[in-house]
Amino acid sequence: MRNKVTIVGAGNVGATTAHWLAAKELADIVLIDIVEGVPQGKALDLLESLPVEGADVSVTGSNDYAETADSDVVVVTAGFPRKPGMSRDDLLKANADIVGAATEQVVKHSPSAVLIVVTNPLDAMCEVARMKSGFPRERLLGMAGVLDSARFAAFIAAELKVSVDNVQAFVLGGHGDQMVPLPRYSTVAGIPITELLDVQAIQRLVKRTAGGGGEIVALLKTGSAYYAPARAITEMVDAILKDKHKILPCAALLRGEYGIKDLFIGVPCKLGAGGLEQVITITLTAEEEKALNKSAAAVRELVDVVHAQAQSR
């Protein structure tokens, strides 16, 4: 019996994630969206590509969460992008409503699933899902660090003109401008990039990584990134479904690790069949710890807004 993965949101990120999952034959897939016809059409199109790929999985589109029952993993990508004139609190409320409603359906139909939140602002939306689901931290994760690390790795490889296979990049913290790329722990064939690049070059790559999503939004003008986010989601799902015990940077609920409690923050996580198996703690310099605490403070501001909005209802 094949595994089952539900993807909530049939936009670019959700549909591209379905594409990656199907091509890798990781699971049967259900694509859910509120717009009638969209998940069905994209699922059918993807299903019809699989004979060419030689991939034997089922891909279904639906507007009914009943189709998602007994999913092993549920990925929430649905949400609004921030639009001109929309405040941060407006975006938080709009996407909190979407993520909250999706989470309630996940709990109803797949109470044992591992839930991966992708909707922005990511770290705050993880808290919404936690409040709505009551899931243990092992079964509730956010996708951010894999994407941020991939961006950092791509920029390092291009700068040094080396294969991306040689590069292992490391990013901590919240998903956004306050993320914390760690050059000391980022390597090329095992060599720290601090031995290969000067300070100015590293700072330039770190800055570009932190603004990586915004750079793509500025270029597209009418959308945001989806190829890299979808591939990053697939990496997490692969580690979970194959019980790989693989260490990946993910947003996890911290319980004192790194001196942070009750916040979803990007940290190295060991992933296996049950979701989060272990938060890996590393030694930080005073400067790195200060940057991580600053990132955590920015996340806490958003989470405080989420809690205030929940209490006002």
Domain boundaries, the chain: 4-142, 145-307
Between 167 and 212, residue with greater pLDDT:
167
Average pLDDT taken over every residue of the chain: 94
In the prediction, which pLDDT does 86 show?
A: 58
Section 40-65 average pLDDT: 97
Phi, psi of 19 (to 5 degrees): -60, -50
Say which range, 83-92, 109-118, 180-189, has the weakest mean pLDDT: 83-92
**CATH class held by domain 145-307:** alpha beta
Q: Give the rounded percent of residues in the chain with a pLDDT score beyond 70.
A: 97
Q: Tell me how long the chain is.
A: 313
Q: How many helices (DSSP H) and strands (DSSP E) are in the chain? A: 9, 14
Determine if residue 288 is left, alpha or beta; phi over 0 gives left, psi from -120 to 50 gives alpha, anything else beta.
alpha
Say which range, 73-82, 86-95, 109-118, 206-215, has the weakest mean pLDDT: 86-95
Q: Which amino acid would we find at residue 56?
A: D
CA distances from 176 to 20, 46, 103, 173, 212 (A): 24, 31, 23, 9, 9
Say which range, 171-175, 192-196, 272-276, has the weakest mean pLDDT: 171-175
Q: At what angle do helices 286-311 and 122-133 cross, to 10 degrees?
A: 50
Contact status, residue 81 vs residue 121, Cβ threshold 8 Å: no
In the prediction, which pLDDT does 60 show?
A: 98
Section 17-23 average pLDDT: 98
Q: How far apart are CA 153 and CA 288, in angstroms?
A: 19
Between 198 and 312, residue with greater pLDDT:
198
Q: Which fold has domain 4-142?
A: Rossmann fold (3.40.50)
In the prediction, which pLDDT does 189 show?
A: 98
Q: How far apart are CA 129 and CA 143, in angstroms?
A: 13
In the prediction, which pLDDT does 217 show?
A: 86
CA 188, chain centre distance (Å): 24
Catalytic residue among 19, 109, 175, 307: 175
Q: Retrieve residue 94's tokens.
A: 């709009």
Say yes or no to pLDDT of 310 above 90. Answer: no
Say yes or no to pLDDT of 178 above 80. Answer: no
Section 304-308 average pLDDT: 90
CA distances from 31 to 11, 76, 153, 235 (A): 10, 10, 30, 18
Section 86-115 average pLDDT: 90
91: nearest Cα among 99, 83, 100: 83
What are the tens digits of pLDDT across the range 130-147?
999 999 999 999 998 999
In the prediction, which pLDDT does 85 show?
A: 63
Say yes or no to pLDDT of 252 above 70. Answer: yes
What are the tens digits of pLDDT across the range 4-13?
999 999 999 9
Please confirm, yes or no, whether 19 is among the known catalytic residues.
Answer: no
CA distances from 155 to 21, 224, 232, 297 (A): 25, 19, 16, 27
Section 161-182 average pLDDT: 90
CA 283, chain centre distance (Å): 24
In the prediction, which pLDDT does 87 show?
A: 62
Q: Give the rounded percent of residues in the chain with a pLDDT score beyond 90.
A: 83
In the prediction, which pLDDT does 8 show?
A: 98
Q: CB count, 10 Å around CB of 162?
A: 14
Strands (E), the chain: 4-8, 28-32, 59-62, 73-76, 114-117, 140-142, 167-168, 171-172, 180-181, 187-188, 191-192, 246-255, 261-272, 275-279
Residue bearing tokens 């722990």: 185
What are the tens digits of pLDDT across the range 200-228?
999 999 999 998 988 998 899 888 899 99
Sign of the CA dihedral 215, 220, 224, 226?
negative
